[in-house]
Amino acid sequence: MSQDFKKIVIENSDSIVQMWMSEINSLKQDNYTANISDELFESTNREFVNVIFTSIKNQGSVKVVEDFSEKIINLGWPLSYITDGLQVFRRVSVDYILGQSVKVDSAHISDVMKSVDVWVEPLIRQLVNEYSGSWEHIVSLQRVALQELSAPLIPVMDRITVMPLIGTIDTERAKLIMENLLEGVIKHNSEVVLIDITGVPVVDTMVAHHIIQAAEAVRLIGSTCILVGIRPEIAQTIVNLGIDLGKFPTKSSLRKGFTRALEITNRKVIDLEDNEESIEKMIESLRGE
Protein backbone atom coordinates (compact mmCIF):
# COMPACT_ATOMS: atom_id res chain seq x y z
CA MET A 1 0.00 0.00 0.00
CA SER A 2 2.65 2.46 1.14
CA GLN A 3 4.68 1.75 -1.99
CA ASP A 4 1.71 2.71 -4.16
CA PHE A 5 1.33 6.04 -2.41
CA LYS A 6 5.02 6.67 -2.77
CA LYS A 7 4.71 5.99 -6.49
CA ILE A 8 1.84 8.44 -6.79
CA VAL A 9 3.77 11.15 -4.98
CA ILE A 10 6.97 10.65 -6.93
CA GLU A 11 5.30 10.41 -10.30
CA ASN A 12 3.32 13.57 -9.67
CA SER A 13 6.07 15.41 -7.91
CA ASP A 14 5.70 18.44 -10.19
CA SER A 15 2.14 19.22 -9.21
CA ILE A 16 2.80 18.51 -5.53
CA VAL A 17 5.80 20.82 -5.60
CA GLN A 18 3.65 23.52 -7.15
CA MET A 19 0.98 23.17 -4.49
CA TRP A 20 3.64 23.18 -1.82
CA MET A 21 5.35 26.28 -3.22
CA SER A 22 2.16 28.30 -3.33
CA GLU A 23 1.29 27.35 0.27
CA ILE A 24 4.79 28.22 1.50
CA ASN A 25 4.66 31.54 -0.32
CA SER A 26 1.41 32.44 1.39
CA LEU A 27 3.10 31.64 4.71
CA LYS A 28 5.88 34.03 3.85
CA GLN A 29 3.67 37.10 3.84
CA ASP A 30 2.86 37.40 7.51
CA ASN A 31 5.67 35.33 8.88
CA TYR A 32 9.21 35.17 10.12
CA THR A 33 10.80 35.17 6.66
CA ALA A 34 9.28 38.47 5.52
CA ASN A 35 12.61 40.28 5.15
CA ILE A 36 14.25 37.62 2.99
CA SER A 37 14.67 38.37 -0.69
CA ASP A 38 12.29 36.57 -3.06
CA GLU A 39 15.04 34.93 -5.13
CA LEU A 40 16.76 33.45 -2.10
CA PHE A 41 13.45 32.30 -0.66
CA GLU A 42 12.50 30.71 -3.98
CA SER A 43 15.80 28.88 -4.46
CA THR A 44 15.90 27.67 -0.85
CA ASN A 45 12.35 26.39 -1.21
CA ARG A 46 13.35 24.46 -4.33
CA GLU A 47 16.27 22.96 -2.52
CA PHE A 48 14.10 22.13 0.47
CA VAL A 49 11.55 20.32 -1.64
CA ASN A 50 14.32 18.46 -3.47
CA VAL A 51 15.71 17.34 -0.15
CA ILE A 52 12.28 16.09 0.86
CA PHE A 53 11.87 14.12 -2.37
CA THR A 54 15.36 12.61 -2.36
CA SER A 55 14.87 11.53 1.21
CA ILE A 56 11.50 9.92 0.33
CA LYS A 57 12.91 8.18 -2.73
CA ASN A 58 15.85 6.56 -1.04
CA GLN A 59 14.65 6.28 2.55
CA GLY A 60 16.98 8.31 4.73
CA SER A 61 19.70 9.93 2.64
CA VAL A 62 21.33 11.53 5.64
CA LYS A 63 23.98 13.52 3.82
CA VAL A 64 21.58 15.69 1.82
CA VAL A 65 19.50 16.49 4.87
CA GLU A 66 22.60 17.38 6.89
CA ASP A 67 23.86 19.73 4.20
CA PHE A 68 20.51 21.40 3.90
CA SER A 69 20.02 21.92 7.64
CA GLU A 70 23.53 23.34 7.87
CA LYS A 71 22.67 25.81 5.16
CA ILE A 72 19.48 26.92 6.90
CA ILE A 73 21.34 27.32 10.19
CA ASN A 74 24.02 29.40 8.48
CA LEU A 75 21.36 31.57 6.88
CA GLY A 76 19.94 32.06 10.36
CA TRP A 77 16.41 31.16 9.36
CA PRO A 78 14.06 30.13 12.12
CA LEU A 79 13.37 26.52 12.95
CA SER A 80 9.70 27.14 12.20
CA TYR A 81 10.58 27.46 8.51
CA ILE A 82 11.59 23.80 8.51
CA THR A 83 8.73 22.51 10.63
CA ASP A 84 6.14 24.57 8.74
CA GLY A 85 7.58 23.42 5.43
CA LEU A 86 7.29 19.77 6.36
CA GLN A 87 3.79 20.17 7.82
CA VAL A 88 2.68 21.80 4.59
CA PHE A 89 4.28 18.99 2.62
CA ARG A 90 2.46 16.42 4.70
CA ARG A 91 -0.86 18.19 4.18
CA VAL A 92 -0.34 18.68 0.44
CA SER A 93 0.70 15.06 -0.16
CA VAL A 94 -2.23 13.64 1.80
CA ASP A 95 -4.60 15.92 -0.12
CA TYR A 96 -3.09 14.92 -3.42
CA ILE A 97 -3.13 11.18 -2.81
CA LEU A 98 -6.71 11.34 -1.58
CA GLY A 99 -7.63 13.32 -4.68
CA GLN A 100 -6.20 10.55 -6.86
CA SER A 101 -7.86 7.70 -5.01
CA VAL A 102 -10.94 6.05 -6.42
CA LYS A 103 -12.59 4.97 -3.22
CA VAL A 104 -12.21 7.03 -0.08
CA ASP A 105 -13.22 5.55 3.25
CA SER A 106 -11.87 6.05 6.73
CA ALA A 107 -9.51 3.07 6.54
CA HIS A 108 -8.03 4.41 3.33
CA ILE A 109 -7.55 7.90 4.79
CA SER A 110 -5.81 6.53 7.83
CA ASP A 111 -3.57 4.42 5.57
CA VAL A 112 -2.58 7.46 3.56
CA MET A 113 -1.91 9.53 6.68
CA LYS A 114 0.19 6.79 8.19
CA SER A 115 2.41 6.26 5.18
CA VAL A 116 2.96 9.98 4.64
CA ASP A 117 3.86 10.30 8.32
CA VAL A 118 6.42 7.55 7.92
CA TRP A 119 8.20 9.60 5.26
CA VAL A 120 7.96 12.97 6.92
CA GLU A 121 8.58 12.21 10.57
CA PRO A 122 12.20 11.02 10.36
CA LEU A 123 12.93 14.14 8.33
CA ILE A 124 11.42 16.44 10.94
CA ARG A 125 13.26 14.62 13.68
CA GLN A 126 16.59 14.84 11.92
CA LEU A 127 16.27 18.48 10.93
CA VAL A 128 15.13 19.56 14.39
CA ASN A 129 17.94 17.57 15.98
CA GLU A 130 20.53 19.18 13.73
CA TYR A 131 19.10 22.57 14.48
CA SER A 132 18.88 22.25 18.25
CA GLY A 133 22.25 20.51 18.27
CA SER A 134 23.81 23.59 16.76
CA TRP A 135 22.18 25.79 19.42
CA GLU A 136 23.33 23.54 22.21
CA HIS A 137 26.80 23.68 20.78
CA ILE A 138 26.76 27.49 20.77
CA VAL A 139 25.38 27.66 24.31
CA SER A 140 28.01 25.28 25.63
CA LEU A 141 30.78 27.24 23.91
CA GLN A 142 29.48 30.46 25.40
CA ARG A 143 29.27 28.90 28.83
CA VAL A 144 32.92 27.91 28.61
CA ALA A 145 33.83 31.41 27.40
CA LEU A 146 31.86 32.95 30.25
CA GLN A 147 33.51 30.70 32.78
CA GLU A 148 36.93 31.74 31.57
CA LEU A 149 35.96 35.37 32.07
CA SER A 150 34.16 34.90 35.35
CA ALA A 151 36.95 35.06 37.92
CA PRO A 152 40.19 36.43 36.48
CA LEU A 153 43.13 37.02 38.72
CA ILE A 154 45.74 39.56 37.69
CA PRO A 155 49.13 39.74 39.37
CA VAL A 156 49.69 43.49 38.91
CA MET A 157 52.87 43.69 40.91
CA ASP A 158 55.11 41.57 42.99
CA ARG A 159 53.02 40.39 45.98
CA ILE A 160 49.91 42.33 44.90
CA THR A 161 47.07 40.68 42.96
CA VAL A 162 43.76 42.05 41.71
CA MET A 163 40.52 40.20 40.99
CA PRO A 164 38.08 42.40 39.10
CA LEU A 165 34.51 41.12 39.21
CA ILE A 166 31.98 42.19 36.61
CA GLY A 167 28.37 41.08 36.44
CA THR A 168 26.09 38.94 38.51
CA ILE A 169 27.57 36.48 40.96
CA ASP A 170 25.73 33.19 41.25
CA THR A 171 26.61 30.13 43.30
CA GLU A 172 28.70 28.53 40.57
CA ARG A 173 30.68 31.68 40.00
CA ALA A 174 31.16 32.23 43.72
CA LYS A 175 32.78 28.81 43.91
CA LEU A 176 35.10 29.68 41.02
CA ILE A 177 36.03 32.99 42.64
CA MET A 178 37.01 31.24 45.84
CA GLU A 179 39.06 28.58 44.04
CA ASN A 180 40.86 30.99 41.72
CA LEU A 181 41.54 33.40 44.56
CA LEU A 182 43.17 30.81 46.78
CA GLU A 183 45.06 29.14 43.98
CA GLY A 184 46.30 32.49 42.68
CA VAL A 185 47.39 33.75 46.07
CA ILE A 186 49.60 30.70 46.49
CA LYS A 187 50.84 30.71 42.90
CA HIS A 188 51.73 34.41 42.72
CA ASN A 189 52.85 34.47 46.32
CA SER A 190 50.69 37.52 46.96
CA GLU A 191 50.56 39.33 50.22
CA VAL A 192 47.57 41.47 49.31
CA VAL A 193 44.59 40.61 47.13
CA LEU A 194 42.24 43.33 45.92
CA ILE A 195 38.71 42.22 45.06
CA ASP A 196 37.13 44.87 42.86
CA ILE A 197 33.31 44.83 42.84
CA THR A 198 32.78 47.99 40.77
CA GLY A 199 31.04 45.95 38.09
CA VAL A 200 28.79 43.90 40.36
CA PRO A 201 25.28 45.33 39.95
CA VAL A 202 23.73 44.10 43.19
CA VAL A 203 25.34 43.06 46.44
CA ASP A 204 22.79 41.07 48.40
CA THR A 205 23.36 38.84 51.40
CA MET A 206 24.40 35.89 49.24
CA VAL A 207 27.05 37.83 47.35
CA ALA A 208 28.27 39.42 50.58
CA HIS A 209 28.38 36.04 52.22
CA HIS A 210 30.53 34.60 49.45
CA ILE A 211 32.88 37.58 49.51
CA ILE A 212 33.23 37.33 53.29
CA GLN A 213 33.99 33.63 53.02
CA ALA A 214 36.56 34.20 50.28
CA ALA A 215 38.23 36.96 52.29
CA GLU A 216 38.29 34.76 55.38
CA ALA A 217 39.86 31.92 53.41
CA VAL A 218 42.49 34.32 52.04
CA ARG A 219 43.23 35.45 55.58
CA LEU A 220 43.71 31.83 56.65
CA ILE A 221 46.48 31.34 54.12
CA GLY A 222 48.22 34.40 55.43
CA SER A 223 47.30 37.16 52.99
CA THR A 224 45.22 40.28 53.29
CA CYS A 225 42.09 40.81 51.25
CA ILE A 226 40.90 44.33 50.46
CA LEU A 227 37.42 44.86 49.05
CA VAL A 228 37.44 47.78 46.63
CA GLY A 229 35.02 49.48 44.26
CA ILE A 230 32.15 49.87 46.69
CA ARG A 231 29.82 52.38 45.12
CA PRO A 232 27.87 54.72 47.43
CA GLU A 233 24.51 53.05 46.75
CA ILE A 234 26.02 49.63 47.38
CA ALA A 235 27.48 50.89 50.65
CA GLN A 236 24.01 52.03 51.72
CA THR A 237 22.33 48.76 50.84
CA ILE A 238 25.02 46.81 52.68
CA VAL A 239 24.38 48.93 55.78
CA ASN A 240 20.60 48.50 55.38
CA LEU A 241 20.97 44.76 55.09
CA GLY A 242 23.00 44.81 58.28
CA ILE A 243 25.97 42.97 56.79
CA ASP A 244 29.10 43.20 58.86
CA LEU A 245 32.12 43.78 56.67
CA GLY A 246 34.18 45.06 59.60
CA LYS A 247 36.54 42.11 59.57
CA PHE A 248 38.49 43.18 56.54
CA PRO A 249 39.53 46.48 54.97
CA THR A 250 37.38 48.09 52.29
CA LYS A 251 38.05 51.03 49.97
CA SER A 252 35.89 53.02 47.59
CA SER A 253 38.11 52.65 44.54
CA LEU A 254 40.72 50.33 43.15
CA ARG A 255 43.21 53.18 43.22
CA LYS A 256 42.86 53.74 46.94
CA GLY A 257 42.97 50.03 47.54
CA PHE A 258 46.15 49.77 45.52
CA THR A 259 47.80 52.55 47.51
CA ARG A 260 46.86 50.73 50.69
CA ALA A 261 48.24 47.50 49.27
CA LEU A 262 51.55 49.25 48.56
CA GLU A 263 51.61 50.53 52.12
CA ILE A 264 51.04 47.04 53.47
CA THR A 265 53.93 45.73 51.38
CA ASN A 266 56.09 48.70 52.46
CA ARG A 267 56.23 50.46 49.11
CA LYS A 268 54.95 53.66 47.59
CA VAL A 269 54.63 55.38 44.23
CA ILE A 270 57.07 58.25 43.69
CA ASP A 271 56.97 60.82 40.90
CA LEU A 272 60.15 60.81 38.86
CA GLU A 273 62.19 64.03 39.00
CA ASP A 274 64.70 65.37 36.51
CA ASN A 275 67.34 65.19 39.11
CA GLU A 276 69.54 62.25 38.26
CA GLU A 277 70.43 61.80 41.84
CA SER A 278 66.88 61.09 42.85
CA ILE A 279 66.52 58.54 40.06
CA GLU A 280 69.56 56.79 41.26
CA LYS A 281 68.22 56.94 44.77
CA MET A 282 65.02 55.34 43.59
CA ILE A 283 66.82 52.58 41.71
CA GLU A 284 68.77 52.06 44.84
CA SER A 285 65.61 51.81 46.90
CA LEU A 286 64.05 49.42 44.41
CA ARG A 287 67.08 47.18 44.65
CA GLY A 288 66.74 47.25 48.34
CA GLU A 289 63.42 45.51 48.20
Partner 1 sequence: MTPQSCVTIQKEWDIVGARQLGRDIAKKMGFGTVDQARIATAISELARNIYLYTENGQICFEVVENMNRKGLVILSTDNGPGIDDIGRVMEDGYSTSGGLGAGLPGVKRLMDEFDVQSEVGVGTKIKAIKWAR
Least distance in Å: CB of 158 to partner 1? Answer: 35
Among 19, 52, 82, 208, binds partner 1 (CB under 8 A): 208
Cβ closest to partner 1, residue 106 vs residue 240: 240
* Element of type H or E holding 161: strand 160-166
Least distance in Å: CB of 243 to partner 1? Answer: 6
Of 90, 72, 60, 51, nearest to 132 by C-alpha is 72
Cβ closest to partner 1, residue 189 vs residue 205: 205
Cβ closest to partner 1, residue 53 vs residue 248: 248
Of 222, 223, 225, nearest to 210 by C-alpha is 225
Question: Does 148 contact partner 1 by CB under 8 A?
Answer: no
Q: How many residues bind partner 1 (CB under 8 A)?
A: 21
224-228, strands of its sheet edge to edge? 154-157, 160-166, 192-199, 224-228
| Contact letters for partner 1, residues 166-205 (x by CB under 8 A) | --x-xx-----------------------------xxxxx
| Three-state DSSP string of 173-240 | HHHHHHHHHHHHHHHCCCCEEEEEEEECCCCCHHHHHHHHHHHHHHHHCCCEEEEECCCHHHHHHHHH
Residues 229-258 within binding reach of partner 1 (CB under 8 A): 232-234, 236-237, 240-243
Percent helix / strand / coil, the chain, rounded to 5: 70, 10, 20
Question: Does 2 contact partner 1 by CB under 8 A?
Answer: no
**Contacts with partner 1, residue ranges (CB under 8 A):** 168, 170-171, 201-206, 208-209, 212, 232-234, 236-237, 240-243
